[in-house]
Every structure is written in structure tokens, then in C-alpha cells.
Chains A and B, each alone.
Chain A
């Protein structure tokens, strides 16, 4: 029996799974408030903290760039990694799992589908907060920073797939853990301050999250005077290694935990 090639199914799956996310952005526009205005308020409130402390102008830039990357972190966690937990409850996971596609393609579809909202949120924060508070960036660093940003996002989505495999298996426990880990991760990634302030050990632990080093590298490129955690080139290299590492780990983990989930009846809503 001949079937469509695996790569064809993979690509079609990404587009198809992205579709519900994409259409929901124009059929239900409440996200404009919840995904752009509210996070903007959060970022602005941190800017006021630094202003009240009379911190140097680049600190306002730290907050703005942290707010930009936070949008992608939340997309990865809430719109991708944890989705299998909800999909199982709705019965979708059964249909995804018994189709001849890969769960990695489903996850990538979720990610791409949600990217529009994340990009809008990130762009709004960057534009509005920078204009409102007069944050300036080094023009020479903009293009390399864009490159580092793309690498960071790739590493982040690979990490998201790894986390999704854990959610597939551990489900409610993983959900509770992810919720509990939110604030520590915001802290360790240095969303609102340079990671160097945390010191070598805490910064090193935080560097396991691709955002930490990616964000620090972007800040070094566009905000001159950023306290250096490790040299820029090492940060970029570490992010590239993370892309490869998390991509391989996520594939192994997805296959292994999908098999374990079939053993332990975790793909199905049980009814004998």
C-alpha cells in the first residue's frame, strides 16, 4: 500500500494544526487585550520601578527586551508544552496519536499557530514601551541581535517539545510543576535584570533555559554597557548547542514517553 511520504505528512500536519490557532486570532479578538495590553502593563510597571530607582537608561531596555522574550516563553509553555494535557481531556490526543503523523509535527503546528499572537505581543511591547520611555538601541547590533533572537526561539521551541513529552506522560503532575516553576524561571532567566547579577552558580543553572543566554546576548548587542555574564560568542555557541541538544532529546523523549503512555493508558480517556 502506498502512502504519502513521511515528510509530506509532517509538513501538512504543521499547517493543519496551526490552522485552529490562526483562525481563532481573528474569530475571537479578546487576545488583543489579554495578550498585548495586559503584558504591556506588566512591563511598564517594571520600567517604573527602575525609573524610581534612577537606574541607567539601559536598564529600561533590559525590561523591554525581557518583556519581548517573555511572550515566547509563555507561548511555549502554555500554548505548546502543556497542550497535550488539555488535548487528552478533550479526546484530541487519541486522534493525534492514532494518526500516521508525528507528535513533534503537532507540537510545531501549535507553536507556529501561536507565533502570530506572540509576535504581535512582542512587537507591541518593543514599540510602545521603547517609544513611551525613550529607550534607545545600538543600530549596529540590531541585525546580529535579530539572528540571536531567531536562534533563541529555535532553542526555546525545541525545549518546549521536550517539556511537552513530559506533559504527555506526567500530565496533571507536570502541569502543577510547570505552574510552580513559573516565578523561579522568570527569576533565573533574568527577564527584568541582567543575568550577571545572579552570580555564576544561579546564572549557570538559569542558562539551561535557552532564553537566559539568548536574552543576555541580545542585550549585549543592542544595549551597550550591559554587564557581561559570559562572552557574547560563548553565549551564541551555547544557544546553538541547546538547539541541537534539545531537538535530539525531545525526539528521544517523545518516542519513549509515547510508548510508555501507550503502556500506562495515558493517551486515552479510560473506559473499559
Chain B
């Protein structure tokens, strides 16, 4: 297998007062060339730290990391020719510049010849629907337009490996879809290209990635194709239960015989519980607990498993709970 990214026992500790923070705790990762590889996990899981080490901005505390066969610690200068990174919510650049000027400026830091790069910028602007905004100042762009521009910045230097760190965070549905479509198109142009994507949007990882690593508290807890990961909860019945707000119920539901895993997220004033039941019979016990709590049932629904369910099964808690600590 031709490997694009490999890490071995990668560990990163931040020395902050009053205590150290272990952001990565022995990460072993192998990403084959040509893949769209997702690193999925809640905020604070260590995804961004992993990316920053791989793009040479951060040194690991211990362990090894190789990108395109090059050591990120000792061969960073050569490696920087081959990679690019685009982060979500980026506010980089200079508001006084136009979109075209900004993109040209960053291309020059890679020594790109100006004339072809300007042509390439025009093509990419058109592809992402930004042709009319090319001469507009950056300060006047919407967040969606800005993120598309950032994606173009990542593409114009023709990297072999593109790192996308939460690239669609805070984007509306349309802009997020455009970004994902462009990533797919870019990959399709050259099968040797590789994308490493971090996200905490399960749907995004499911839709875009060939393989996914689920990261939690600095460790990889599972790795595989989205289908393989979902397979882990395939035998369970997934039931969504919507309840009116009330006393804490999650631990009581987890204690019900036959409930393999449970998580909760509050949305629009309703608590949405996601339950993984090893058999449908467990639903009787669940309903008994709900009735005893005095909460009102607003909806019950059985559905197909998602990556979120795989995460809950692997970690024992939902993403939102993990983010809250």
C-alpha cells in the first residue's frame, strides 16, 4: 500500500499552568494515497493538534510522523512544497486586498509563476461560483465566499496532500455543499492526491470520506470505512426518543437492561435521546423509566445507524457530552 500519511505512537503535550494537557496520546495512523480520510471527534479531541503536527507547524512531544514519506520534524522544508492546509473560520489575509490579489500573494510564497497561477485562479473562482467576487476586497466577502476563497488558496499551489481542518464549520448548507463538491472534484482530477479532513460533523465524514478515524481524548478509538464503523451498531436497534425537558434521565436510561448506549442533545427546547437497544424488548424498560420521570413523550422513531451512533457505542457518550467534558 502506498502510504501518504503515517504516524507512530504520536504524542503531544501542552505545558500549560496549572497542569499539562495531553492533546495526543499515542496516535498510530496510516492513510493510503488517494484517499479522502476523515478524522472525526468532538471539539478538544486532538484533531487540530494532529493536523498542525502533520503540516509542520507543531512538533510532537514524542513519536514519529511522516507525510508523503517525509519526516515532519526533520524534513519540514521539503515537505512544505507538497502540502496545503485550509481551516474552517479562517480570517487570514489582508482585508485591503482583492480576492485575486490575496490568492496570488499566497501562491508566491511557494514560488509559483505568476501568469499560469493567475489563469488557474480565474478557473477556480469560476468553478466555485466566485467569478464576480474576484476583484472584490476580502473585507467585503461573506463567510461562505471567504471560505471558498480559502479553499482555492489551498488548491492553487497544487499540493499532493491537502489538509482540511473543519472546512465547513459555520457555513450555510449551500456553501458547505460547494466546498465538499470541490474537494471531490479536485480528488477526481488526480488519483494520487490525498485529503485529510478533520470534522465534528458526522454527516460530513460519512458523505465525503473513504475511511474515518474516530478520535477521542487524544486517542484513536476506531478506524475503518464509514460503513464498517456503522456496522458495529448494525445489530442494535437505534431509537430516537424526544422528551419534554425535566429531571436528568440519561443515567437511568443507560441502566435499563438491553440499552447498549445512550446519548442526549438538547434542540429547540426538546431533549433528543438516541438509544441503542440490543433488542426491541428493551423499549418496554425505557418507557417505564420515562413514565416514572414525569416527562412527556414528544416523539419516538426507529432509524438506521449513523456514525454518531458508532461514536456513542465506542466512547459510551455522545459528542456533545464529550465536548462539555
Contact = CB atoms under 8 A, between A and B. Distances in A.
- The prevalent SS among residues of B at the interface is loop
Contacts of A20: 94, 96-97, 101, 105
Interface in B1-50: 14-15, 21, 23, 43-49
- The prevalent SS among residues of A at the interface is helix
Contacts of B107: 16
A270 B96 contact: no
Interface string A81-96: 0000000001110111
Given A91-B90, A94-B57, A271-B48, A1 B111 contact: no
A15 interface: yes
Interface residues of B, number: 44
Given A20-B94, A95-B106, A272-B49, A12 B111 contact: yes
Interface stretch (A22-30, A137-145, A201-209): A22-30
A99 interface: yes
Contacts of A94: 57, 85, 92
Interface in A136-158: none
B112 A101 contact: no
B58 A262 contact: yes
Given A17-B105, A100-B80, A4 B59 contact: no
A15 B93 contact: no
B55 interface: yes
B140 to A, nearest CB: 12
A94 B86 CA distance: 11
A17 B97 CA distance: 11
A91 B92 contact: yes
A175 interface: no
Interface in A1-48: 1, 3-5, 8-9, 12-13, 15-17, 19-20, 23-24, 27-28
Interface in A102-134: 106
Contact of B111 (A8, A91, A95, A98): A8
B263 interface: no
A249 interface: no
A3 B78 CA distance: 9
B101 A19 contact: yes
Interface residues of A, number: 39
B323 to A, nearest CB: 11
Interface in A216-271: 259, 262-265, 267-268, 270-271
Interface in B52-95: 52, 55-59, 77-78, 80-83, 85, 87, 90-94
B105 A16 contact: yes
A267 B78 CA distance: 19
A91 B147 CA distance: 14
B311 interface: no
Given A91-B90, A91-B92, A95-B92, A267 B109 contact: no
B48 A96 contact: no
A91 B87 contact: yes
Contact of B109 (A101, A271, A272): A101
A29 B113 CA distance: 31
Given A3-B81, A98-B83, A268-B52, A13 B58 contact: no
B108 interface: yes
A135 interface: no
B87 A262 contact: no
Contact of B112 (A4, A19, A95): A4
A92 B85 contact: no
B111 A4 contact: yes
A3 B59 contact: no
Nearest to B106: A95
A27 B139 CA distance: 13
A271 B14 CA distance: 11
Nearest to A267: B57
B273 interface: no
Contacts of A5: 111
Contacts of B153: 95
A57 interface: no
Contact of B101 (A23, A90, A263, A268): A23
B111 A3 contact: yes
Closest 9 CB pairs of A and B: A4-B111, A16-B108, A9-B111, A99-B109, A100-B80, A20-B94, A12-B108, A272-B23, A91-B92
Given A1-B82, A98-B56, A262-B56, 19 more contacts: A4-B110, A9-B109, A13-B109, A13-B111, A16-B109, A17-B105, A20-B94, A23-B97, A94-B57, A97-B57, A98-B80, A98-B85, A101-B110, A259-B59, A262-B58, A263-B59, A267-B57, A272-B21, A272-B48
